[in-house]
Structure 1
Amino acid sequence: MLQTLQRSRTPSGAAYLDQGEGDETVVLIHGVGMRIEAWGPQIERLAETCRVIAVDLPGHGGSTPLDGPPRLEQFVAWFGRVLEELSLGPVNVAGHSMGALIVTGIAATAQDKVRRVALLNGVHRRSEAARKAVMARADEIVSGAFDREAPLSRWFSVEERNSEAYVLVRDLLQAVDAAGYADAYRAFASGDSIYSDCWPRVTRPALFLTGSDDMNSTAEMAQGMARAAPHGKVVVIPGHRHMVNLTTPETVNAALADWLTWEVENDT
Structure 2
Amino acid sequence: MISTILPRSELAGLSAIVAGTGRPVLLLHGVGLRAEAWGAQIKALGDTHHVIAPDMPGHGETPCNGQCKELDDYVQAVLPLLRMLDEPALVVGHSMGAMIALELAKSAPECVRAVAALNAIFERSDEAKAAVQARAASLDGSTMPDPTPTLERWFGTEQSFQRSACDDWLRMADTLGYKQAYTAFAHADGPSRQALGGLKCPALFATGAHEPNSTPEMSHIMADLAPQGRVLVVDGAAHMMPMTHAADVNSALSAFAQDIWP
TM-score w.r.t. length of structure 2: 0.94
Structure 1, gaps ≥5 residues long: none
- Tell me the CA shift for residue 65 of structure 1: 2.1
Residue 14 of structure 2 aligns with an amino acid whose one-letter code is A
Counterpart-to-counterpart distance in 2, 1:54 and 1:227: 28
The reply to whether residue 224 of structure 1 matches residue 243 of structure 2 is: no
* Contact 1:205-1:264 at 8 Å conserved across structures: no
Task: Report the counterpart of residue 18 of structure 1 in structure 2.
Answer: 18
Counterpart-to-counterpart distance in 1, 2:108 and 2:32: 26
Deviates more, 1:167-176 or 1:118-127: 167-176
Distance 1:168 1:223, change over 3 A: same
Task: Report the counterpart of residue 118 of structure 1 in structure 2.
Answer: 116
* Contact 2:121-2:189 at 8 Å conserved across structures: yes
- Tell me the CA shift for residue 195 of structure 1: 4.4
The reply to whether residue 246 of structure 1 matches residue 247 of structure 2 is: no
Task: Report the counterpart of residue 132 of structure 1 in structure 2.
Answer: 130
- Tell me the SS of whatever aligns to 2:194: coil
- Tell me the SS of whatever aligns to 2:138: helix
* Contact 1:212-1:219 at 8 Å conserved across structures: yes
- Tell me the SS of whatever aligns to 2:3: coil
Counterpart-to-counterpart distance in 2, 1:96 and 1:88: 24
Structure 2, gaps ≥5 residues long: none
Give the counterpart of 1:178 among 156, 175, 179. 175
- Tell me the SS of whatever aligns to 2:91: strand
- Tell me the SS of whatever aligns to 2:18: strand
Task: Report the counterpart of residue 212 of structure 1 in structure 2.
Answer: 209
Task: Report the counterpart of residue 42 of structure 1 in structure 2.
Answer: 41
Runs of 4+ in 1 over 6 A off after TM superposition: none
The reply to whether residue 187 of structure 1 matches residue 184 of structure 2 is: yes
Residue 62 of structure 2 aligns with an amino acid whose one-letter code is S
Counterpart-to-counterpart distance in 1, 2:86 and 2:142: 37
- Tell me the SS of whatever aligns to 1:130: helix
Residue 19 of structure 2 aligns with an amino acid whose one-letter code is Q
Counterpart-to-counterpart distance in 1, 2:25 and 2:260: 15
* Contact 2:102-2:191 at 8 Å conserved across structures: no
Task: Report the counterpart of residue 32 of structure 1 in structure 2.
Answer: 31
Distance 1:142 1:124, change over 3 A: farther
- Tell me the CA shift for residue 112 of structure 1: 1.1
Distance 1:252 1:163, change over 3 A: same
- Tell me the SS of whatever aligns to 1:261: helix
**Aligned length, in residue pairs:** 260
- Tell me the SS of whatever aligns to 2:139: helix
- Tell me the CA shift for residue 17 of structure 1: 1.2
Distance 1:116 1:169, change over 3 A: same
Counterpart-to-counterpart distance in 1, 2:193 and 2:179: 23
